[in-house]
């Protein structure tokens, strides 16, 4: 699944090289936050600000490469041919 991040199409790949979408990463992130206890504890454990984690979970900020890695994903940016040119 593709999602838009700035002007690029982004592929998210989990540890088993399965192509995943943005929503898949958010589900895993939410589960990990709940496992740790809450957003503040998750942020402290992994070195993020609690406001950044909250913004990601509420769709206000993009998932960083480091955050994707923490929850078992790797971000790949791909370019798609413009059919109109």
- What does the pLDDT look like over 4-58, one tens digit per residue? 444 444 444 545 556 677 888 898 899 999 999 999 999 999 999 999 999 999 9
Number of domains comprising the chain = 1
Residue 85: inside a domain, yes or no? no
pTM greater than 0.75: no
Is there a domain that residue 84 lies in? no
Domain that holds residue 40: 2-78
pLDDT in tens, 72-81: 888 776 666 7
Residue 42 domain-assigned (yes or no): yes
Q: Quick one: the chain helix, strand, coil %, rounded to 5?
A: 45, 20, 35
- Cα separations in angstroms, 73 against 7, 8, 84, 85: 20, 18, 33, 33
């Amino acid at each position: 699944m593709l999602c838009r991040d700035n002007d690029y199409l982004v592929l998210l790949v989990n540890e088993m090289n399965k192509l995943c979408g943005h929503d898949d990463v958010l589900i895993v992130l939410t589960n990990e936050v709940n496992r740790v206890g809450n957003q503040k504890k998750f942020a402290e454990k992994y070195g993020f600000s609690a406001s950044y984690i909250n913004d990601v979970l509420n769709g206000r900020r993009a998932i960083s490469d480091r955050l994707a890695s923490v929850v078992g994903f790797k971000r790949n940016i791909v370019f798609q041919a413009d059919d109109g040119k």
